[in-house]
């Protein structure tokens, strides 16, 4: 077929210098800040001769991490297991509840207050009950952490599934799209940016939930997590180990967040404004 409108040519590609690439900048600048902060901390501890039972130096913390690695590594695995189980559970259950909510306003109106109730009740208050009800400590802690992580998934995904361009929806109706086609081709893609926003919040909350559940459950032995190690180290005034465990929790949280950011970029990077560079 002959072109009726004039053909438009593609623009040429541009080469960006290494240090100006957003990907390099995103690692370089935070790393610079981190190096400065750790140097200042080390300098202060050494300079002011602070005792290790008050504030250990970053170097001592690292040393403890290495010497106690057998114990701390196992604890990290245990905490991560609960965190990931809770995160996956919260995601699956949250998405299912959101799909239920968008089926009708009446269902959402009827059930939403209970989702809020779930969110506002402190997990520390509920956890002892859950731990009494569920015998298996891992399952009990997973349930507690899931309860904490559930709400952002529900609220974000529901909002996303409802945030459809009304004209685009009209277009689907004009072309006689079925309910199923509208869900798969329109609602689900429209909801993705909101869903990933929910995932980022929930990934952090699952870790917080897991740590809180460990504190409340207080389970020791072979399955002891990082929170238990912190409790024990506190009793023994082993402050460097406390710091080492704390460092591991923080690093686990950062890693989870980075994983979610990476997934989000993978899914939305090319098309959604939240993931495209602003310069």
The stretch near other proteins (CB under 8 A) out of 3-11, 29-37, 106-114, 228-236 is 3-11
For residues 150 and 201, give the distance between their C-alpha atoms in angstroms, rounded to a whole number: 10
48 binds other proteins (CB under 8 A): no
13 binds other proteins (CB under 8 A): no
Count of residues that interact with other proteins, criterion CB under 8 A: 30
- Residue from 35, 67, 170, 274 binding other proteins (CB under 8 A): 170
Q: Are 148 and 206 in contact (CB under 8 A)?
A: yes
For residues 259 and 237, give the distance between their C-alpha atoms in angstroms, rounded to a whole number: 34
Q: Please state the closest distance from residue 277 (CB atom) to other proteins, in A.
A: 12
Alpha helices in the chain (DSSP H): 22-47, 58-67, 69-103, 105-120, 123-133, 137-162, 166-174, 179-182, 188-217, 226-235, 239-268
53 binds other proteins (CB under 8 A): no
Judged by DSSP in three states, 8 sits in coil
168 binds other proteins (CB under 8 A): yes
Question: What is the contact mask toward other proteins in residues 172 to 211, using x (rule: CB under 8 A)?
Answer: xxxxxx---x---xx--x--x-------------------
1 binds other proteins (CB under 8 A): yes
Cβ-based neighbours of 31, under 8 Å, separated by 6 or more: none
Q: Please state the closest distance from residue 120 (CB atom) to other proteins, in A.
A: 34
Cβ-based neighbours of 263, under 8 Å, separated by 6 or more: 196, 199
Judged by DSSP in three states, 225 sits in coil
- Burial of residue 260, with CB atoms counted within 10 A of its CB: 0-12 exposed, 13-18 middle, 19 or more buried: buried
Site for other proteins in 209-268 (CB under 8 A): 268
Q: Please state the closest distance from residue 215 (CB atom) to other proteins, in A.
A: 42
The stretch near other proteins (CB under 8 A) out of 107-115, 145-153, 216-224, 271-279 is 271-279
Interface contacts to other proteins, rule CB under 8 A: 1, 3-10, 165, 167-168, 170-177, 181, 185-186, 189, 192, 268, 270-272, 276
């Amino acid at each position: 077929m002959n072109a009726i409108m004039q053909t438009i040519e593609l623009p040429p590609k541009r080469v960006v210098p290494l240090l100006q690439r957003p990907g390099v900048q995103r690692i370089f600048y935070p790393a610079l800040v981190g190096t400065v902060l750790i140097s200042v901390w080390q300098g202060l501890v050494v300079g002011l001769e602070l005792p290790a039972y008050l504030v250990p130096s970053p170097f001592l913390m690292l040393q403890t991490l290495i010497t106690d690695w057998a114990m701390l590594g196992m604890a990290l695995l245990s905490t991560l297991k609960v965190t990931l189980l809770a995160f996956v559970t919260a995601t699956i259950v949250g998405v299912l509840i959101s799909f239920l909510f968008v089926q009708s306003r009446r269902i959402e109106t009827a059930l939403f207050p209970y989702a809020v109730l779930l969110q506002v009740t402190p997990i520390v208050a509920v956890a002892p009950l859950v731990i009494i009800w569920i015998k298996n400590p891992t399952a009990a802690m997973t349930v507690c952490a899931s309860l904490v992580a559930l709400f952002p998934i529900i609220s974000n995904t529901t909002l996303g599934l409802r945030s459809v361009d009304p004209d685009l929806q009209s277009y689907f109706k004009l072309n006689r799209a079925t309910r199923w086609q509208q869900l798969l081709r329109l609602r689900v893609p429209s909801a993705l940016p909101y869903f990933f926003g929910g995932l980022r919040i929930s990934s952090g909350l699952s870790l917080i939930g897991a740590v809180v559940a460990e504190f409340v459950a207080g389970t020791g032995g072979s399955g002891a997590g990082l929170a238990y190690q912190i409790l024990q180290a506190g009793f023994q005034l082993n402050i460097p180990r406390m710091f080492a465990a704390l460092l591991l929790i923080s690093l686990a949280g950062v890693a989870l967040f980075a994983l979610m950011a990476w997934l989000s970029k993978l899914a939305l990077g090319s098309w959604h404004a939240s993931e495209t560079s602003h310069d």
